[in-house]
Structure 1
Amino acid sequence: MRMKWSAAVLLATATGLAYGQSSVMLYGIIDTGISYYNHATANGGTFVGMASLTGRLPSRWGLRGTEDLGGGFKTFFVLENGFQPGNGTLNYGGRLFGIQSNVGISSDYGSITLGRQLGMSMYALMNADVIGPSIHSLSVFDSYLPNARSDNAIGYLGKFHGFTVGGTYSFGRDAAGPAGPGATNCPGQVPGNMLACRQYTALLAYDSTSFGVAASYDVQRGGTGATPPLNRSAYTDTHNIVDGYVVLGLTKVGFGWIRNNLAVATHLQTDIFFAGATYYATPALIFDAQGVRYLQRGGDGKKDATSTLLIGRASYLLSKRTMVYTSVGYMFNSAQAANAVAAGGTVGVGMNQLGVMAGLQQKF
């Protein structure tokens, strides 16, 4: 009798697995081009070569899968890899799946995710920042913004009648070694130290067909042995973002404010203000423009350095999958500032800088 019941249970389970609706999708973006910028050195040298970190968007490929469990519940996974097409190396600290590596369950009440995942700072910027993580973008002032992700994290994201509520908590935000801005070697999860390398983020947003607003809060803690300056668990790096957008016919206008407080041995505060617009001239021809103002203050509250970045971009779709584009940026640096116009670029202190890129992007 027991064998008959066991066979029946196994058959029912196998039947359920066989008929459950599931899918796995392979996708990606390859985006690169030729970049130029002047004043790359103290004596005014220029750079001409392949864009190293990003083009219009960072190159990536990934696997995404879902399975319908019934009753409104689904399970899902995401494995997403970031790489440099110029030499094939991995981005995000050399991780195999540095953009995302997680599994979760979703329902009408939202989704819960476990693993390496996007922080709420990333979600807050998605709609308001019309330029995105491009070669000339907000990221030249704060390299954390395009790398706002956490290892060893549990996350929640729910959408209800236009409102989005989300949060993440990481037990050890960065398990990769110090290999670029996407890794700071702060693995955390240290017995006896509940603060080391912890991170928590939160989001509240509202979106409609004509406008949207968002606010996020993001705190990273340091840990012993991590890349300075966050090399103590008492040190914190906090990002606050408030932004929004308005859709006016064929034009989208985005704007926002980002404050970063670095509470280490010497306190540092920076503010980024941005405003931009995207205009769809035709379904295939897109124009973007954005202005960014950067202010850096030390512990005395005085302005230590300021920069202003102006960005213009034109993109043309050759097909649904293939795009050509050109991006132009100009950086005005104060006497104490040395912010490069291009992600991954260099500039002499106090020098203004012109950057140009022409690129090709293909999606699959």
Structure 2
Amino acid sequence: MKLKHSLIALAALAAVSAANAQSNVTLYGRVDLGYQFNNKVNAAGDSLSELKNGGIAPSIWGLRGTEDLGSGLSAFFNLESHFYGDTGQLEGAGRLFRRQANLGVKGAFGSVALGRQYSPALLAHLGTDPRGFKEQFSMLYPYALNQTTAPDTLNDLGIFLANAVSYTNSFGPVNVGAAYAFGEQAGKFSAGRTASIGGSYTGPVTVSASYQQIKNVAGTGDTKQWGLGGAVPLGPVKAKILYLRTKSDAGVLAGAETNVGVWGVGVDYVWGANTSTVAYYQGKDKETSGALTDKTKTLVLSNDYALSKRTTLYAQLAYADYDAGSTARTSIIAGPVVAGEKQTVFGLGIKHDF
């Protein structure tokens, strides 16, 4: 009996070892916290000091895994959660895997994924936005806040696509991705439906392009967004430029038709363990004019210091000039927009990846 038990234990151990040899699961994540000061958060001129989560990147944790299926094929999955490092709370209505929950297969043909995942339109411009879509002071907010206000479970402001099928592949220096997200609204087949495509060329220079269309969940109108960007390396310096145009039909956002164009230009300078950035962004809604013109101009200065491959100290400063009709749709600053005023936001923090 003792020998029998030993043989069973050895067989179980061999099975576990074989499974581990064929599959790989990784726990990963990031915590980003720091101090942030905003000199003006309302018309009364009040300021705000806070312990800020996600100064340059969101605090996340996740699981990802792959399994070798043979013949050059592999299966993969991604589960990714978003949380507030300062309070420990989940971000996004308490949903555990708000960012990613997908499964797919990849091989020489490319990669096919099913489930909640990043929009290909967003990923295309990571190398051309002057601040790389950082969590603060980048094109991330105009990109998101100008897309349809469909429920978070559907398209999450165009950043993450739920109920989606995607295809991605690389052809030498050219990377392409396309996705289709089912709206899954009873009685309204098109409501919340999203089509997204993005691509980039990375050679002596970088060029990026994207297009995304989201059907309004109310069944009236939609949002169309396209973007074009470029980056040119010059030794320790890299110059970047990105333009996004978003048009929303009446009734989709604040009730009125919008036509927002936002462009940004900037320069990264690498010296030692430091990366210093100077960037300028300007956004305007062409459907507004006169005293109600929605236009914002913002200058950003920042420096990232790599303490190690995983840990970064950062300092950043944004100065925004708001027109009388400015809204969050033309601003790159997360937080209250004080129309007709000038606003300065300073941040100092640390980011650690694991």
How does the TM-score come out when normalised to structure 1? Answer: 0.83
Q: Deviations over 1:285-315 (max 9, x none)?
A: 1111211010112278998221111111111
**In the alignment, which residue of structure 1 is the partner of 2:163?**
152
**In the alignment, which residue of structure 1 is the partner of 2:351?**
361
Q: Output aligned runs, 1:181-192, within 5 Å.
A: 189-192=184-187
Q: Deviations over 1:229-255 (max 9, x none)?
A: xxx223211211111111111122211
**In the alignment, which residue of structure 2 is the partner of 1:4?**
none
**2:139 touches 2:332 (CA, 8 Å); kept in 1?**
no
**In the alignment, which residue of structure 2 is the partner of 1:50?**
51
**In the alignment, which residue of structure 2 is the partner of 1:100?**
100
Shift of 1:19: 7.8
Q: Is it true that 1:163 corresponds to 2:169 in the alignment?
A: no
Work out the CA distance in 1 between the residues paired with 2:230 and 2:240: 6
Structure 1 runs (4+) deviating above 6 angstroms are 14-17, 299-303
**1:338 touches 1:351 (CA, 8 Å); kept in 2?**
no
Shift of 1:16: 12
**2:296 touches 2:331 (CA, 8 Å); kept in 1?**
no
**2:258 touches 2:285 (CA, 8 Å); kept in 1?**
yes
Q: Is it true that 1:115 corresponds to 2:115 in the alignment?
A: yes
Q: Is it true that 1:207 corresponds to 2:215 in the alignment?
A: no
The alpha-carbon distance between structure 1 residues 19 and 219, as it changes in their structure 2 partners (threshold 3 A), is: same
The alpha-carbon distance between structure 1 residues 16 and 234, as it changes in their structure 2 partners (threshold 3 A), is: farther
**1:295 touches 1:303 (CA, 8 Å); kept in 2?**
no
Work out the CA distance in 2 between the residues paired with 1:143 and 1:343: 12
Look up the equivalent residue of 2:206 and give its one-letter code: G
Look up the equivalent residue of 1:258 and give its one-letter code: L
Look up the equivalent residue of 2:348 and give its one-letter code: A
Work out the CA distance in 1 between the residues paired with 2:324 and 2:20: 66
The alpha-carbon distance between structure 1 residues 67 and 334, as it changes in their structure 2 partners (threshold 3 A), is: same
The alpha-carbon distance between structure 1 residues 18 and 362, as it changes in their structure 2 partners (threshold 3 A), is: closer
3-state DSSP class of the match of 1:125? Answer: coil
The alpha-carbon distance between structure 1 residues 333 and 158, as it changes in their structure 2 partners (threshold 3 A), is: same
3-state DSSP class of the match of 2:144? Answer: coil
Shift of 1:357: 0.3
Shift of 1:279: 1.3
The alpha-carbon distance between structure 1 residues 238 and 302, as it changes in their structure 2 partners (threshold 3 A), is: farther
**In the alignment, which residue of structure 2 is the partner of 1:334?**
323
Work out the CA distance in 1 between the residues paired with 2:271 and 2:300: 18
**In the alignment, which residue of structure 2 is the partner of 1:233?**
219
**In the alignment, which residue of structure 1 is the partner of 2:244?**
258
**In the alignment, which residue of structure 2 is the partner of 1:312?**
301
Q: Deviations over 1:46-73 (max 9, x none)?
A: 0111225x21111111111011111111
Look up the equivalent residue of 1:86 and give its one-letter code: D
**In the alignment, which residue of structure 2 is the partner of 1:321?**
310
How does the TM-score come out when normalised to structure 2? Answer: 0.85
**In the alignment, which residue of structure 1 is the partner of 2:9?**
none
**In the alignment, which residue of structure 2 is the partner of 1:129?**
129
RMSD between aligned alpha carbons?
2.4
> More displaced, 63-72 or 132-141?
132-141
Work out the CA distance in 2 between the residues paired with 1:106 and 1:296: 41
Shift of 1:20: 5.8
Work out the CA distance in 1 between the residues paired with 2:332 and 2:38: 8
Look up the equivalent residue of 2:317 and give its one-letter code: V
Q: Deviations over 1:174-223 (max 9, x none)?
A: xxxxxxxxxxxxxxx13442201111101232112x21111111111122
Shift of 1:17: 6.4
* Percent of pairs with identical residues: 29
Work out the CA distance in 2 between the residues paired with 1:273 and 1:342: 11
